C-alpha cells in the first residue's frame, strides 16, 4: 500500500503529537507514527516558561483547546478527568548520609524553595504523561491527523525532494511518501541514527544513571519545615521536590490522583548496585528521612534503570528532515529544562514547515540546528556546574540563581509582551548574560567557587525576582520585586502592573 502526506512525524510523545496538531490545523496533511505508547512515560514537571511557550503556541496556531493545559487552575476546572500535579516552584532539600534531615547544614539552610507562581490558580503543573500524551494525540486525530499505532519506521530514504519511509505495521509494511519527516522519537532518535549520525561526547555533564518509577503512598516532606512555616512561599511538597545526596539527587513529584513520580539521578561511578530495585533501596537506606517518605510506598511498575550519557547529536536537521531537541541529547532533569526546550523546537519547526509548506530551505534548517545546539550546550553547562556542587547547599543555591534569574527575566518579558517572534530559552540569546555566566561557570569547572559578590553582580541587571537578596532559603514570587525591577525589562510600573494583572499574577489565592 502507498500513502502520501506533507509531513510524517515519528513518535507520538507530547512533542510529536503537539506538532502534528499544530501543522494539521494550519492546513498541512500529517501522518503520525507511534510504535506503541508506553504505559509509563517520564518527563513530567513543567515550568512557567514551558507554560508560556504552550500558551503562545495555542494563540499563534489557533488552538484554544490547549489553553486550559497551561495553568493548574484552568486545568482542574476544564479537565478534571486528566491527572495532574500542582507545581508552585522548585524545592531542594540537602541530606547527609546516616543523618536525619535537619534544616541547617554547616551554617547554611539545608533547603531552598523558589516559587514560580504567587498562587495556585496560575501554578505550573506536573503532566501525567501517559494521559497528557494521549490527550494531545486525541486532539491531533480530531483535527484530521492520520495516526498509525503500532507502527515503526524500518527504512527511510531522505533527500531534498522529500522522504520515503517504510513503516512496519501489524498488517504489513507500508510505504509512506512525505515532503518532510520529523524525528520525535525522543532519546531513541530513530531517524538520525538510521541516517548514520552518532552522538558525540560533551564535557559538561557527568555520566549518570536514572532509576525511577511511579509509586503509591509516598509521604510528604512539608512537616520538615514546620518550624519556619510563616516563611513558606508555598507548601514545600507542591513543587518539583529535589533531595540532594552524595551520590546524585532524587526527584519527587506528587500528582493529585495519589500517584507520585520518583526517581534517582546518580553519578554512574557511585552506583551501589546494577539492579534498579537494589540500587533504589541501598541509596534510600543511607538517608533516613528520605527513606521514611517511602516507608509505606509501593511502585506501580518494576523500577527502571537507564544510562544517561553526556552526548549530543551535532546534526539535527537537513533538507527533508529534522530532529526535536529531546532527541538531540538527554540533559539532566534537575531544573525541568527538557519540556520547555522540546516546546521551543516544536514551535520553531512548526513555524518553518507552515511558512514553507513542508519544504523549509537548507539555511532555515541550519539556523534551527544552530539555535537548538546553542541552547542545549548552555543548559548542559549550567546543569553540569550544579552537578559539581550538588551536595553543597551554599554554592548550589548561588549558582542555581543564574537559572532562576534568567527564567524569571524571560518569563516577565513574555508576560509583558516584550518579546517579538519566538522567544529564546532562558537568556541563552543574550550575549552579555551568556558571557558573564560562562565566566562564572568556568571557575566552577576549574574546581573554584565564584564569590557571592561576583554572582550577584552578574545577576543584578536581570534580577526581577528578588534573587540578589539573601532570603534564608525562601524565595516567594512577589509583584513588588517585579515592580521595583521594571526598568530592567524595560517597562514602566504601570505597564508591569497591567501585565501582572492580565496574566493572573495579582489574583488573590482561592
Ligand X SMILES: Cc1cc2nc3c(=O)[nH]c(=O)nc-3n(C[C@H](O)[C@H](O)[C@H](O)COP(=O)(O)OP(=O)(O)OC[C@H]3O[C@@H](n4cnc5c(N)ncnc54)[C@H](O)[C@@H]3O)c2cc1C
- Applying CB under 6 A, which residues contact ligand X? 10-16, 33-35, 37-38, 41-45, 152-153, 184-186, 188, 190, 210, 212, 263, 324, 326, 330, 333, 336, 338-339, 342
Which residues, including other chains, have CB under 8 Å from residue 292's CB and lie 6 or more apart?
219
Spell out where 336-456 has E strands.
none
Q: Long-range contacts made by residues 430-434, C-beta under 8 angstroms, separation at least 24? A: 430/462, 432/461, 433/406, 433/458, 433/462, 434/378
Residue 193 CB, shortest distance to ligand X, in Å, is: 10
Q: How far is the CB of 394 from ligand X (least distance, A)?
A: 25
Nearer to ligand X, 11 or 236 (CB): 11
In the bound state with ligand X, the residue whose beta carbon lies nearer, of 384 and 499, is 384
Cβ closest to ligand X, residue 95 vs residue 152: 152
Decide if 133 contacts 34 (C-beta within 8 A): no
Closest CB 106 distance from ligand X, rounded Å? 29
Residue closer to ligand X by CB (options 88, 463) is 88
Q: Are 452 and 468 in contact (CB under 8 A)?
A: no
CA gap 452, 395 in Å, rounded: 9
Q: What is the CA radius of gyration of the chain?
A: 22
For residue 347, the minimal CB distance to ligand X (Å) is 13
Minimum Å distance from CB 470 to ligand X? Answer: 28
As a whole number of angstroms, the distance between CA 370 and CA 368 comes to 6
Cα distances (angstroms) measured from residue 510 to each of 47, 113, 120, 318, 507: 21, 21, 7, 49, 8
User: Phi then psi for 393, rounded to 5 degrees?
Assistant: -55, -40
- 337: CB partners within 8 A, 6+ apart: 47, 331, 379, 383, 425
How many Å apart are CA 7 and CA 20, to the nearest integer? Answer: 8
Query: Which residue number, 91 or 185, has a Cβ lying nearer to ligand X?
Result: 185
Q: Which triple of cell numbers denotes residue 363?
A: 539555511
Which whole-number Å values give the CA distances from 74 to 68, 71, 131, 210, 508, in the listed order?
5, 6, 17, 32, 15
CB closer to ligand X out of 105 and 346: 346
- DSSP H or E run through 149: none
Nearer to ligand X, 218 or 489 (CB): 218
Nearer of residues 182 and 351 to ligand X, judged by Cβ: 182
Contact predicate 147/167, CB 8 Å:
no
Q: Which is nearer to ligand X, 236 or 248 (CB)?
A: 248
Amino acid at each position: 500500500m502507498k500513502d502520501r502526506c506533507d509531513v510524517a512525524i515519528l513518535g507520538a510523545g507530547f512533542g510529536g503529537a503537539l506538532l502534528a496538531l499544530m501543522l494539521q490545523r494550519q492546513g498541512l496533511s500529517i501522518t503520525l507514527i507511534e510504535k506503541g505508547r508506553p504505559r509509563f512515560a517520564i518527563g513530567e514537571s513543567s515550568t512557567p516558561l514551558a507554560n508560556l511557550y504552550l500558551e503562545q503556541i495555542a494563540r499563534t496556531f489557533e488552538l484554544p483547546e490547549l489553553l486550559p493545559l497551561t495553568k493548574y487552575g484552568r486545568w482542574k476546572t476544564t479537565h478534571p478527568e486528566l491527572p495532574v500535579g500542582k507545581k508552585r516552584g522548585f524545592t531542594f532539600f540537602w541530606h547527609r548520609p546516616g543523618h536525619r534531615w535537619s534544616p541547617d547544614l554547616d551554617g547554611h539552610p539545608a533547603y531552598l524553595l523558589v516559587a514560580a507562581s504567587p498562587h495556585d490558580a496560575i501554578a505550573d503543573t506536573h503532566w501525567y504523561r501517559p494521559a497528557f500524551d494521549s490527550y494531545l494525540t486525541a486532539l491531533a486525530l480530531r483535527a484530521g491527523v492520520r495516526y498509525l499505532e503500532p507502527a515503526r519506521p524500518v527504512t527511510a530514504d531522505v533527500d531534498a525532494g522529500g522522504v520515503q519511509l517504510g513503516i512496519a505495521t501489524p498488517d504489513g509494511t507500508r510505504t509512506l511518501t512525505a515532503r518532510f519527516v520529523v524525528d520525535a522519537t525522543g532519546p531513541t532518535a530513530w531517524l538520525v541514527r538510521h541516517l548514520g549520525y552518532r552522538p558525540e561526547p560533551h564535557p559538561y555533564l557527568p555520566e549518570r544513571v536514572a532509576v525511577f518509577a511511579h509509586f503509591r503512598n509516598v509521604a510528604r516532606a512539608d512537616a520538615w519545615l514546620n518550624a519556619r512555616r510563616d516563611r513558606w512561599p508555598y507548601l514545600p511538597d507542591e513543587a518539583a521536590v529535589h533531595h540532594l545526596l552524595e551520590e546524585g539527587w532524587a526527584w519527587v513529584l506528587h500528582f493529585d490522583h495519589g500517584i507520585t513520580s520518583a526517581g534517582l539521578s546518580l553519578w554512574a561511578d557511585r552506583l551501589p548496585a546494577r539492579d534498579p530495585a537494589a540500587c533504589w533501596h541501598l541509596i534510600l537506606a543511607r538517608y533516613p528521612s528520605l527513606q521514611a517518605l517511602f516507608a509505606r510506598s509501593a511502585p506501580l511498575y518494576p523500577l527502571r534503570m537507564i544510562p544517561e550519557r553526556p552526548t549530543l547529536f551535532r546534526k539535527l536537521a537537513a533538507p527533508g528532515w529534522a530532529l526535536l531537541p529531546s532527541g538531540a541529547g538527554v540533559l539532566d532533569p534537575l531544573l525541568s529544562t527538557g519540556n520547555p526546550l522540546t516546546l521551543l523546537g516544536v514551535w520553531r519547526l512548526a513555524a518553518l514547515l507552515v511558512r514553507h509548506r513542508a519544504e523549509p530551505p537548507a539555511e532555515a534548517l541550519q539556523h534551527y540546528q544552530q539555535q537548538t545546539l546553542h541552547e542545549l550546550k548552555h543548559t548542559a553547562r549550567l546543569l553540569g556546574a550544579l552537578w559539581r556542587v550538588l551536595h553543597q547547599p551554599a554554592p548550589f543555591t548561588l549558582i542555581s540563581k543564574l537559572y532562576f534569574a534568567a527564567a524569571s527575566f524571560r518569563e516577565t518579558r513574555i508576560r509583558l509582551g516584550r518579546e517579538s517572534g519566538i522567544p529564546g530559552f532562558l537568556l541563552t540569546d543574550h550575549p552579555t548574560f551568556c558571557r558573564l555566566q560562562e565566566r562564572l561557570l568556568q571557575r566552577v569547572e576549574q574546581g573554584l567557587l565564584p564569590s557571592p559578590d561576583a554572582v550577584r553582580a552578574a545577576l543584578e541587571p536581570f534580577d526581577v525576582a528578588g534573587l540578589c537578596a539573601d532570603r534564608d532559603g525562601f524565595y516567594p514570587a512577589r509583584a513588588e520585586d517585579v515592580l521595583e525591577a521594571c526598568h530592567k525589562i524595560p517597562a514602566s510600573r504601570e505597564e508591569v502592573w497591567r501585565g501582572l494583572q492580565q496574566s493572573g499574577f495579582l489574583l488573590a489565592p482561592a
